[in-house]
Every structure is written in C-alpha cells, then in structure tokens.
Amino acid sequence: MNEIVYLGIDLGTSRTSITSSNGIRKTVWSYVGYPKDHVALKKFGGREIIFGKEAVENRMSLNLIRPLAGGSIKKKGESDSDAAKKALGDLIKHVVEIAEVPASASIYAVIGAPAEVSVEGKTALMKAASPFIDSIIICSEPFAVAYGLDYLDDTLIVDIGAGTVDLCRVHGTMPQPEDQRTHEVGGDQLDETLSEMIKEKYPKAQHSINMIRGIKEKFSSVSPTMDVASVTLTEEGKPKDFDLTEQIYRACYTIIPPTVAALQDLISTYDPEFQHKMRNNILVGGGGSQIRGMASALESALSEYGGAKVTMVDEPLYAGSNGALRIALDMPEKFWVSFKKEKEPVKA
C-alpha cells in the first residue's frame, strides 16, 4: 500500500496555510498572477504563474487574481469566472507542491471553508482540488480551529478572515447548519471603510488599497486608548505625515457589531440551560484576531447580554490548518477510501 500523506489546508481570502503529516507547515499569500505579455514573461524567467507576496509586489506586470475574494465560495448565489476557477486550481496545486509530498504517496486532505459555504462553493473547491488530491473533505473553518485546540464542549468559535467572519457553535458533535453563521464585514471590508474615511478626512492624501491593508495590519485596534497612528502618505507626490488614529479605530470597530449580533443569535437559540457556559467560552481566531483589543471589545459589547469571556488563539496563522490536519488524522481510513471512490469521476 502506498504511503498516505495527510494535509490540513486553510484556504483564506488573504493567506493560505498548510500543515502536513510529513512535518511541513507553510503559508502563502492567496494571490495568483499571470504575466501580462512577453516582456513580463521574460522578466519572470519564463514562469507563467507567480504566487503570493511576489505576485503582489510585481502586480504592475501581472494580471493579478485573488481567487478566494469572491465567487461561490464566499457568497451564496455568486458564480465563478473562468479566470477565478483557473487561479483557484493553480493556487491549490501550488499549496500541495510546497507540502513536499513524495510522488508515490496518496494525498488525503481536509480543506477549511466558510461556515455557511454553499453547495456551489463546495463543488467549486472539489473541482479545483481534485486533480491534485486523492481524497478531499470540506469542513467548516471555525470548526477546524475548535477541533485542533480541543474546544469541543459548549464553545463559540469566531474565525475573522479577510473575506468573511465565520462563527460556529460547538457542543461535542459535528456542527449542523443551524450551528453556524457568516457575515461579510471581514478584513477586506475594513480596508474599504478605512480608505473611504481617509478620503473624507484627507481628500488629497494618495494611497492604494494595498497600502491601506499594510497600514491596517500595522496599527489595527479596537481599543479607545490605542496608540497614535502616524502614517506617511503622499499629497500631490510629496511625502506628508497624517494622523490616522481615529480613522483606523472607527474602521476596525465596524467588525464588532455584526460579530456580536451573530454571537448573540447563536447563544439565544441554544439550550437555555447551557447558554451561560457558551457565552463564557468564546474563542477567536483568524487573521483579524490580531486586531488589538479585540477580546476586550467583544466582552464589553456582550456585557448587556449577561457578560462573556473571550480568548484569542495563540497561533492564528496556523490554527485552521492545524485543526484540519488533526481532523484528517482522526478520520477512519474506511471513510477516506469510500470518499475517494465517490470523487474519482470529478478528478477525471
């Protein structure tokens, strides 16, 4: 029997992480770039696909795609363009390649998806991944975080990503649709909001959305006592310092109300005997969990509902992929085999 390598993959709108049973753990920015013309192709030494940070930094020479920024995987009722489908497949192939799986090995993978991903979204993921992976399981991203950290008893998981914020109610069994919620005020929406606030306050300040993303990641906070955020931008081509403290705080705080509303919805529809336990066992992960003051802001906002206890994951970059790998390793072999047989026509 061939060796089996298990993969846990957290496909994020902004970053994709992989953890493998052969000890590989890596992250790549979720960007795929294709050279615009023969000059660009020469610049990249004949490489036809550029990934991650390199693609972002060279985006003027590339047709740059974020395959997980929209479409059926992130939004119900949305369709996927041919370019996005190709980019998603290329990204998954690249992620599998950096896992350094021996050519003779079979690959079994658990892939994290948004909590309320549609049937169309799951199908898109399956079609994109099946040429490179022998057997695939799609699981809820927040559930993967919970599973990997053994938060399986009366826990609320919040996974704050770039495209969506996914929430999952975990109570010692596989989550059902009624246990999951998703809203779209994630990191990308914060970037757009911050950009608009800067334009309103400083109409002559020049910036790109990529610059805004970097500013947010450096200074992001939902603490009313956050440090001063002084940023150098250009005004008519001339460098100038701008105080963006208020704008960054207000933009980041927009994530709190919809997240609290989703948390309270999951709490209020749970068995009343256990609601207090769940309210005091909230775990927050994902890239957005690194926003300073997030735990305190959520606890404060939930105080009117009886209070809460919020804990941040120690390793947000890999919590999802680590959990997905643990699910893969714990899954009975007979399940993988039956699933593999079921999915062979898609792979062909």
Residue extents of the structural domains in the chain: 31-65, 147-185+255-312, 187-253
What is the chain's pLDDT, residue by residue, as a tens digit (348 residues)? 578 999 999 998 899 999 999 999 999 999 999 999 999 999 999 999 999 999 999 999 999 999 988 766 766 666 778 898 999 999 999 999 999 999 889 999 999 887 767 778 888 888 999 999 999 999 888 999 999 999 999 999 999 998 889 999 999 988 888 999 999 899 999 999 999 999 999 999 999 999 999 999 999 999 999 999 999 999 999 999 999 999 999 999 999 999 999 999 999 999 999 999 999 999 999 988 999 999 999 999 999 888 899 999 988 999 999 999 999 999 888 888 766 644 443 332
First to last CA, the chain: 22
What per-residue confidence (pLDDT) applies to 121? 80
What per-residue confidence (pLDDT) applies to 285? 93
Q: Which of 298, 287, 333 is CA-nearest to residue 162?
A: 287
What per-residue confidence (pLDDT) applies to 343? 44
The span from the CA of 275 to the CA of 192, in Å, is 35
What per-residue confidence (pLDDT) applies to 124? 86
Fold that domain 147-185+255-312 belongs to in CATH = Nucleotidyltransferase; domain 5 (3.30.420)
pTM score, two decimals? 0.86
The span from the CA of 33 to the CA of 52, in Å, is 8
The span from the CA of 193 to the CA of 198, in Å, is 9
The span from the CA of 280 to the CA of 155, in Å, is 8
What per-residue confidence (pLDDT) applies to 1? 54
What per-residue confidence (pLDDT) applies to 72? 67
- Same topology between domain 147-185+255-312 and domain 187-253: yes
- What is the CATH architecture of 187-253? 2-Layer Sandwich (3.30)
Give 196-250 pLDDT, tens digit per residue. 999 999 999 999 999 999 999 999 999 999 999 999 999 999 999 999 999 999 9
